[in-house]
Amino acid sequence: MDDIGIGLSGLGLLFVLIALRVPIGVALIGVSFGGLYVLLGWRVAWGALAVMPYQFSANWVLSSVPMFLLLGFICYHAELTQGMFRAARVWTSALPGGLAIAAVFGSAGFAAVCGSSVACAAAMGRIAVPEMMRARYNAELATGTVAVAGTIGALIPPSIILILYGVIAQVSVPQLFLGGITAGVISAIGYCVVILVRVKINPTLAPVGVRASWSERMVALKDTWPILVVMIGIFGGLFSGAFTPTEAGAIGAFLSCLVGLARRTLNWRRFRLAVEETMITTAALIVIGVGATLLTRFLTLSGAGDYLSDSIIGLSANPAMILFGIILVYLILGMFLEPIGAMLLTMPIVLPIVQDADWSLLWFGIVLTKLLEIGMVTPPIGMNIFVIKGVVGNIATTTQIFRGVMWFILMDLVVLAVLAIWPEITLFLPEVMK
């Protein structure tokens, strides 16, 4: 078997291991190490295993990941996001499906300090779903809205997926954050349109709310100060150039601690829990990232990476067909793999294709993130669906939640098409802020 055959065989074995439920990080490292051994022997395989983990984890930008994770977990456990939902509820009270729309805006607000779809869905699920059920909302609409609104957490900065993509693709993380803002806002507006149209067509899905007075709306805005303080601290420093991404995450985590202590919602037990969850999540991400880096080295040395990218580009001279094929692959992978694992697994193959097609890596990063987030709510393994099921208990079945998100997935595909067809929409803010 030649080198390319070894590389392709290793890739096939990798997918078999993942199908057998071997953890992605373990599968990536095991296949890459074994492939390097078959190609070049023990010395090269052990040398790569000794060097590559340090080369990946020592990247300075990557140090922002635990900082933003800590920020999100502190905000979650210190309950700093509840005021955002309450304010959105008051301002949207008179709209059809006002509470569901408030859940979307509340999720967008939490996303600005979280960076994780799962954390965003869990937080809003605890707050918004009980409110909607008390107001006699349809269970499918209530749970489906919160499940899909959680996906905004990976688009609106700070986004863990965008940070990892920036590190691997060598793209400016602040520029990615700016591009993610546009995609996140468009997604949130699209979800609100779905809610308005569905409730207009079928008013039994959600009762009509009572319009709040302007004085009530102004008072409700006072509840948003915890998140606003943290957001201004993070983004003011990051986009002005005063902070690096790591410094922005650290300062955001520190501000969230101060705000939590000032509101007396953060105690030692909650802080320790946030730190523990940060450490566990960071370790898991680094193991997967190291495995992806080793896979890149294996595919490069075997020649399989170039062979695959050249073959895919050779199938069609039309860039639109290449992009359609990539989108289709990620939509299928999203049904079975969690987003970060799917991204790091495929980046060694997809990035050369993007570069050969002369596409903007910044634009592609936003499109990729949107694709990965659609996978968070698609059956059979939609992670956000099971997060919401765990939060709401017997309020809705897993099948009901899946049915509830289907309308939103259609809107997601529309938003994805808009972002893919008109890259200037994604690139507008990064260009303006250069």
Cβ within 8 Å of residue 200, ≥6 positions away: 96
Of 110, 75, 112, 150, the residue nearest 401 (C-alpha)? 150
pLDDT string in tens for the chain (434-residue length)? 678 888 888 888 888 887 787 887 888 889 889 999 888 888 888 888 888 888 777 777 777 778 878 887 888 788 777 777 777 777 777 788 888 888 888 888 777 777 677 777 877 777 788 888 888 889 899 999 988 988 888 888 888 889 889 988 889 888 999 999 999 999 999 999 999 999 999 988 888 766 777 777 777 777 777 777 787 887 777 777 777 777 887 888 888 898 888 888 888 999 999 899 888 878 887 887 788 788 878 887 888 767 766 666 666 667 788 888 888 888 877 776 778 777 877 888 888 888 888 899 999 999 999 998 888 888 766 778 877 887 777 788 888 888 989 999 999 999 999 999 999 999 998 888 76
| pLDDT at 377 (0 to 100) | 85
- 314, 327 Cβ separation under 8 angstroms: no
Whole domain around residue 330: which residue ranges?
Answer: 61-266+303-432
Displacement of CA 257 from its chain's centroid (Å): 24
* Within a domain: 196: yes
* Within a domain: 10: no
* Within a domain: 357: yes
The span from the CA of 100 to the CA of 128, in Å, is 8
Structurally, how many domains does the chain consist of? 1
Residue type, 405: V
The span from the CA of 35 to the CA of 8, in Å, is 10
> Distances from the Cα of 401 to the Cαs of 43, 87, 266, 393, 397, in angstroms?
51, 26, 32, 12, 6
| pLDDT at 228 (0 to 100) | 78
Burial class (CB within 10 angstroms; exposed 0-12, middle 13-18, buried 19+) of 214? exposed
- 109, 84 Cβ separation under 8 angstroms: yes
Residue 269: how many CA atoms within 13 Å on its side-chain side? 2
* Within a domain: 224: yes
* Within a domain: 17: no
Q: What number of other Cβ atoms are within 10 A of residue 295's Cβ?
A: 28
* Within a domain: 288: no
Bond preceding residue 130 cis, omega within 30 of 0: no
* Within a domain: 33: no
Q: What number of other Cβ atoms are within 10 A of residue 175's Cβ?
A: 20
Angle subtended by helix axes 214-221 and 82-91, to nearest 10 = 160
| pLDDT at 76 (0 to 100) | 77
Burial class (CB within 10 angstroms; exposed 0-12, middle 13-18, buried 19+) of 206? buried
Residues found in the chain: 434
First to last CA, the chain: 50
* Within a domain: 290: no
